[in-house]
């Protein structure tokens, strides 16, 4: 089962090339500020709306890639950073531009694996040159077309429809392949100091909805109620999902023949780089005195006295390895101050607050540099000695699980 999502389409190009005007034409309304003054758009701005005959999308209007000065450089950096979230890029040019700005941008498209099309705007002033068109096509553009206000709007929408990746529209099921019609899934959800007042955390809510979408039965309990529930009801769940912080309690309570994993590991498989997590997690055993570990939290939140990323994981790592380790914690999508190669391991949270593409690109520098990566839930399971059991539900053949501990 897959769920619909809104594809993100980024509009890129030099200042005053008509990027904002293009968005307004596609939306058939004034959703972006338009001005003859170069540099009107400063930071990337997201606009959600429905394109008639196409569907709901999010357009990202970006600052000109030729911006100058100290502030201009920062705007360009934000424009490039927005590529981490983009499913399809539209490069807007005028006057047959194909210079350093465009070459650098195309290079960034390729680095972030973003398909792109080229729109030659303001063709009433200058028609596109066939030679320039061929240059862009040889550079990887999926389509190169002219655009003149209203006349070519339908043509551009058709081009978007034909070139945007199918993955941009659909999100796989969180529990797809793990459960079937009529299965019983038990969720163990502690209500502790980090639990939001009056509600559940997002991964728990997502799991409940996904279980219902898969026509299965969901049972939600606090960790201290599990033993009594299993004893009184004699219900045997087909799958148990626990908060990683109570992994040991869940492991002790749930019979060994019942699959057990965590919300964080579900997210690792759902939107993370699971294969690299599987390779990177055992590297925890290879950490040495003085090594630096980078912990990536993909949301900004109030830090409690027993915060999982800042307090518990460092403590579990230190107890497991017996080494003197150093930890950096970076929240949200903030820049990482150290060189990624300074770290011996990167530990990424489940990423419930960011998209799959954002998480993938967040980890990309570490993976490209050969720095091992793991996930909160997988790392916790590893240091607590129950890693094999925690990842078993996700392996095609559970007998292939490596006995790392």
DSSP string, 13-68: ESTTSSHHHHHHHHHTS--S---SSTT---S-EEEEEEETTTEEEEEEE---TT--
Which CATH number fits the domain that encloses residue 22?
A: 3.40.50.300
| 125 shares a domain with 212 | no
- Tokens describing residue 155: 């043509």
Q: pLDDT of 267-287, one tens digit each?
A: 998 887 899 999 999 999 999
Asked whether residue 280 falls in the same domain as residue 360, the answer is yes
**Continuous segment of H or E residues that includes residue 390:** helix 387-391
Give CA–CA dist 112/84, Å, rounded: 7
For residues 233 and 106, membership in a common domain is answered with no
Q: Greater confidence, 30 or 343?
A: 343
| C-beta neighbour count of 402 within 10 angstroms | 11
Is residue 287 assigned to a domain?
yes
Is there a single domain that holds both residue 180 and residue 166?
no
* 252 and 166 inside one domain: no
Residue 229 per-residue DSSP state: H
Beta bridge partners of 60: 10, 46
- Among 145-159, 269-283, 284-298, the minimum mean pLDDT is found in 145-159
Q: How confident is the model at residue 301 (pLDDT cuts 50, 70, 90)?
A: very low
Q: Is the pLDDT of residue 37 over 90?
A: no
Q: Are residues 166 and 108 in the same domain?
A: yes
- Which of 238, 266, 294 is the last residue in one of the domains? 266
Question: Where in the sequence is the domain holding 201, given as residue range(s)?
Answer: 175-266
The pLDDT score that the predictor gives to residue 275 is 93
CATH number, position 256: 3.40.50.11420
Grade residue 150 by pLDDT with cuts at 50, 70 and 90.
low
Q: Are residues 66 and 150 in the same domain?
A: yes
CA distances, 368 to each of 272, 275, 276, 300 (Å): 15, 14, 11, 26
Same domain, 208 and 62: no
Domain count, the chain: 3
Specify if 405 maps to a domain.
no
Predicted local confidence at residue 102, as pLDDT: 94
Distance, CA of 186 to CA of 69 (rounded, Å): 56
Residues 310 and 253 both lie in one domain: no
3-state secondary structure of 143: coil
Which has the higher per-residue pLDDT, 28 or 270? 270
Q: How far is CA 324 from the centre of its chain?
A: 31
Going through 139-179 in order, the beta strands assigned E by DSSP cover: 144-146, 170-172
Please indicate, yes or no, whether residues 49 and 190 belong to a single structural domain of this protein.
Answer: no
* pLDDT value at residue 36: 41
The pLDDT mean for the chain works out to 85
Give yes or no for a contact between 281 and 382, defined as CB atoms under 8 angstroms apart.
Answer: yes
Between 242 and 354, where is the model more confident?
242
Most confident region among 4-18, 89-103, 111-125, 192-206 by mean pLDDT: 89-103
Q: Are residues 224 and 204 in the same domain?
A: yes
Most trustworthy range by pLDDT among 61-65, 161-165, 190-194, 339-343: 339-343
Q: Which pLDDT value is given to residue 42?
A: 47
Portion of the chain with pLDDT greater than 90, in percent: 52
Confidence tier at 172 by pLDDT (50, 70, 90): confident
Residue 293 to residues 274, 314, 341, 348: CA-CA distances in angstroms?
A: 19, 9, 11, 11
**Residue 36 and residue 163 share a domain:** yes
Domain boundary among 112, 144, 170: 170
- Based on the number of CB atoms within 10 Å of its own CB, is 391 exposed (0-12), middle (13-18) or buried (19 or more)? buried
* pLDDT at 39 (0 to 100): 44
């Amino acid at each position: 089962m897959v769920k619909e999502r809104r594809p993100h389409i980024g509009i890129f190009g030099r200042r005053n090339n008509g990027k904002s005007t293009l968005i307004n034409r596609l939306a058939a309304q004034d959703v972006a500020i338009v001005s003859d003054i170069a540099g009107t758009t400063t930071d990337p701005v997201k606009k959600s709306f429905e394109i008639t005959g196409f569907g709901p999308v999010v357009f990202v209007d970006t600052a000109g890639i030729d911006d100058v000065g100290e502030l201009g450089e920062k705007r360009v950096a934000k424009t490039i950073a927005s590529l981490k979230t983009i499913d399809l890029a539209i490069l807007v040019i005028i006057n047959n531009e194909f210079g350093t700005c465009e070459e650098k941008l195309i290079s960034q498209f390729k680095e972030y694996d973003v398909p792109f099309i080229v729109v030659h705007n303001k063709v009433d002033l200058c028609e596109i040159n066939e030679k320039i068109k061929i240059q862009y096509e040889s550079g990887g553009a999926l389509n190169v077309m002219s655009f003149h206000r209203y006349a070519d709007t339908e043509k551009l929408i058709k081009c978007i429809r034909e070139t945007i990746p199918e993955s941009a529209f659909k999100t796989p099921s969180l529990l797809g392949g793990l459960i079937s019609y009529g299965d019983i899934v038990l969720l163990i959800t502690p209500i502790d100091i980090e639990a939001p007042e009056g509600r559940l955390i997002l991964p728990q809510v997502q799991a409940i909805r996904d279980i219902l979408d898969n026509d299965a039965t969901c049972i939600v309990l606090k960790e201290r109620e599990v033993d009594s529930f299993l004893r009184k009801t004699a219900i045997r769940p087909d799958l148990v999902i626990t908060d990683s912080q109570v992994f040991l309690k869940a492991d002790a309570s749930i019979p060994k023949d019942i699959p057990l994993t965590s919300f964080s590991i579900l997210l690792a498989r759902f939107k993370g780089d699971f294969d690299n997590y599987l390779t990177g997690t055992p590297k925890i055993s290879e950490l040495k005195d003085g090594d630096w570990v980078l912990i990536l939290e993909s949301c900004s939140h109030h830090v409690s006295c027993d915060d999982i990323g800042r307090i518990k994981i460092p403590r579990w790592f230190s107890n497991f390895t017996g080494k003197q380790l150093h930890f950096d914690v970076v929240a949200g999508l903030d820049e990482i101050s150290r060189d990624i190669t300074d770290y011996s391991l990167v530990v990424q949270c489940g990423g419930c607050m960011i998209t799959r593409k954002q998480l993938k690109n967040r980890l990309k520098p570490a993976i490209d540099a050969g720095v091992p990566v793991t996930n909160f839930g997988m790392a916790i399971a590893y240091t607590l000695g129950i890693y094999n059991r925690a990842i078993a539900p996700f392996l095609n053949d559970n007998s292939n699980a490596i006995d790392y501990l």
